[in-house]
Structure 1
Amino acid sequence: MTVTEYATADGLPGAYWSADPADPRSSRAWLTANRWPEDGVRFLEIPGAGAACAVRTQDHHSGFPRMNCTDVAAGTGRDVEQSEADLARARTEGLHQLNVCALGYGQSVFPARGARFDADALLTALEEYAHRQGRLLTFLHLDADDPVLPSLRRRGWSVGVTDHYYRIADVGPDEAAYLAGFSAHRRSRLRRELASLAQAGASAEIHRGAEVTDRIQQEVAHLEACSDEKHGIPGDPARLLRVNEGLRHAFGSRYCVALVRDRHGNAVASSTALLGTRDVLPRMVGLGPGSKEIGAYFHVAYHLMARLARDSAARGVLLSTGTATAKLHRGATASPLLSAVPPAARAHAALLRRTDAAFASREAR
């Protein structure tokens, strides 16, 4: 079966994309612009299966762990205990990988409009393609209703929960309606949080499309570089500016920036965001000096995103994966993300079983 590789989603026919998607992560604009030179992502078209997919190659366990099937199966960064012997076996087994996954934990398999989607044909083509390259084929970060999961299970693949994705499903028509959904204690705490900027003499802004000036883009790149530095990543404002400029160009009026300025007018916190017809997708939070003292993080990460959703007729906010507490305390719910490894990948299957059990144990508490 023919498999055609593309460096970017732009090369694929328009039948794979919705012109106005509910979730920005499933748009061609997101999959094209949210890139960096070392991300390893490519796009494969399998016309005989009526689908295309996003894949990421991985070699020698370098790069981002959440796109490495060994780290994902092991629950690395998700507090799952694994033995060093099991990890060592899996690292050897997965030295060269072909992982079906998209940046941002979004949709990675794209059925074509007007064609019959054949999941079994897709899997057969991908297995042959990975085999020719000497790579271990896996699927990472699938939603529970992903159309390939039934076929994976029928073929004996190991499937398990490897993460949770958090989303505020409904921000309400206004702030009062949003707050009404919380307990009295939590509502009181959120009201104090919402008042923190005014008490500090700070201000909040949301800019959309053409309102996002070059100066604002420079401010955002500086703040995002500060955040990278805090996480042990070399801050590179020029690289971050290139990504944000790509998103601004690709999304147009659906590209947004939220800013918090201190009492002197200096930008101390930011969030870039993209609008879908159903959800707002915050891409990255930037935090500079002075942001912590005024509680700016909670505004750019949550409250301004909720305001943006209300103002744009969206309903929810996509909050990605990671630490649960702050998200749950602001109205998010968790949905499982599943990953799958083939029957021959026994070392990865052992890691995956333990990670799935760890998530099940937490949910049962």
Structure 2
Amino acid sequence: MHTPDVDIRTAERDDRRPPSPSLTHEQPTPGGVSALPPALGVVRRAAHLPRTSWDRLAGPDNAYLATRWLDVAEDTSGAAMRYLTLTDGEGLAGALATAVADADAPWLAGRPDTVLRLCAEEGRQGAQELAADLPGDLTDALLPGLVCGGRHLGRTTLLNRDGHDATGERLLGAAERMADEEGLRSVAFLHVDEHDTALRTLLTRRGYRSFHSEGYHWLLVPQGGFAEYLTGFSAHRRRRIGAERRAVRDAGVQIATAPLEPADIPRFAELEATLLGKYGMSAWTPARSAAILERALGACGPDALAATARLDGEIIGFALIVVHQDRWFAHRAGFDYAAQRRLPLYFELLFYHLVEAAAQAGATIIHYGTGSGAAKTSRGCLGSGQYTYLRTAAFGRGVGPHRVPVSRASTTPSSRSMENDITDPRT
């Protein structure tokens, strides 16, 4: 349920530090809408946002920028989140979600230092060159930093009602001033979609440098469900998919999708921690997963779905699905590898079954996010490139090249271990 729109000037009075003059001097007067240009505001809690108008800006494909998910991110990320708003006579014209990342942030896949380090190690376009222009250790060079566009992975963006360049300029300028005044070492958009040309052009014009960070994937749900989905593949692939489904069925695995149940959360948390540990995030704990799952259930209610695989009554695999309008977002997953053995459970649970369930529910798109691009593409997903954009005072100082440190498996995520993405868990 959405809360009514509130007056930010009133709601924020007791919930923020003394205002920064550079961000507030154009606020409208209490008597009504000012004749001055659109007013900038800084909000420290999503609960105090004009939620209806913010969600209208976010639209159907930005579930993780909807206010209810911002509530989840605030309560589980441990980051200081702030929201920049631009309001005119018609209401909310633009908005930008931000979070402060420091060296203690456990969300490694959402930090500019670890994203740049990983992408440089993998040889992604532009990453090594950009890293070479930063002094010393990447963590020292970039953190603490302001992460913009949301605390999620994939399609981080700036919300803009009319697509006006001036709206984006005002919000970006405000974010940069806020970062400078607080002594932050960088401003970053970690995963800007290749098709978000307005934002990419604006960031380039403002001096941000970029590199390829990931791929984002989604699946168009056929109205005819799995039968129609299957027709999109070659005969060879159809035979393989049929064999995979039979293997799961013959093993006695039961697959179902239903609203997330609190009683299942401890088991889901255990399975997710196992998956993330397999891909290098050994510091991730079941308690952290459980906190996110519990908060997601509290925020989304019946829109938090669980696809589960059970063998002899025991849960051996799960996926958390966030329903947002007519889109489904596959958000988290986990598997019991010992029980699963070599069964193609990932494909059955996340694709074949999910296509059937989504079609029956009237969903039109399943968003799979970043990671495991080859596996997702092989099962019918479309994809687009994601690009990190960085602004830091260290650029342009003539700093000589340096060697990018090799990351340790215990602290840096692999290319398929992103914290809130659906990844291929097979060996």
Q: 1:140 aligns with which of 181, 184, 190?
A: 190
How far 1:235 moved relative to its partner? 5.8
Change (3 A) 1:35 1:42: closer
**Match for residue 235 of structure 2 among 169, 181, 184:** 184
Q: Which residue of 2 aligns with 1:80?
A: 123
- The answer on 1:26 being equivalent to 2:65 is yes
Name the structure 1 match of 2:251.
Answer: 200
Show the counterpart of 2:213: 162
RMSD: 3.4
Maintained 8 Å contact 2:132/2:400 = no
Q: Partners of 2:202 and 2:244 in 1: how far apart?
A: 47
Question: Of 267, 292, 312, which aligns to 2:315?
Answer: 267
Change (3 A) 1:78 1:182: farther
Q: Any unmatched runs of 5+ in structure 2?
A: 1-22, 25-39, 402-427
In terms of fraction of residues, the more helix-rich structure is: 1
1:56–1:125 CA distance, 2 compared to 1 (3 A): same
Secondary structure of residue in 1 paired with 2:339 = coil
- Structure 1: segments with no counterpart, 5+ residues: 352-365
Q: What's the CA shift string for 1:262-297, capped at 9, x where partnerless?
A: 1x2211111111112342111111112302343322
**Change over 3 Å in CA distance of 1:19–1:149 after alignment to 2:** closer
1:128 aligns with 2:128: no
Aligned twin of 1:357 = none
The residue that corresponds to 2:404 in the other structure is none
- Inter-CA distance 21–120: structure 2 relative to 1 (3 Å threshold): closer
Q: After alignment, is 228-237 or 194-203 more displaced? A: 228-237
Distance 1:265 1:77 in 2: 44
Work out whether 1:228 is the aligned partner of 2:228. Answer: no
Match of 1:17 in 2: 55
> Over residues 131-156 of structure 1, what are the superposed CA-to-partner deviations in whole Å (9 max), with x where a residue is unaligned?
11122222221123434333223333
Are 1:120 and 1:151, in contact at CA under 8 Å, matched by a contact in 2? yes
Cα distance between partner residues in 2 of 1:253 and 1:88? 48
**What is the number of equivalent residue pairs in this alignment?**
348
Instruction: Write the distance in 1 (CA, Å) between the matches of 2:120 and 2:230.
Output: 32
Matching residue of 1:285: 333
Matched letter for residue 190 of structure 2: L
Give the deviation of 1:225 after TM superposition.
3.2
Note closer, same or farther for the CA distance 1:254–1:38 as it changes in structure 2 (3 Å cut): closer
Letter in 2 for 1:10: A
Task: Report if aligned partners of 1:48, 1:121 keep a CA contact under 8 Å in 2.
Answer: no
Aligned to 1:71: 114
Worse-matched range after superposition: 249-258 or 340-349? 340-349
Fraction of identical pairs, as percent: 22
Asked if 2 retains the 8 angstrom alpha-carbon contact of 1:34 and 1:247, the reply is no
Shift of 1:180: 0.7
Q: 2:363 aligns with which of 298, 307, 314?
A: 314
Check whether the contact 1:74–1:87 (CA below 8 A) recurs between aligned residues: no
The 2-side partners of 1:347 and 1:60 are apart by 24
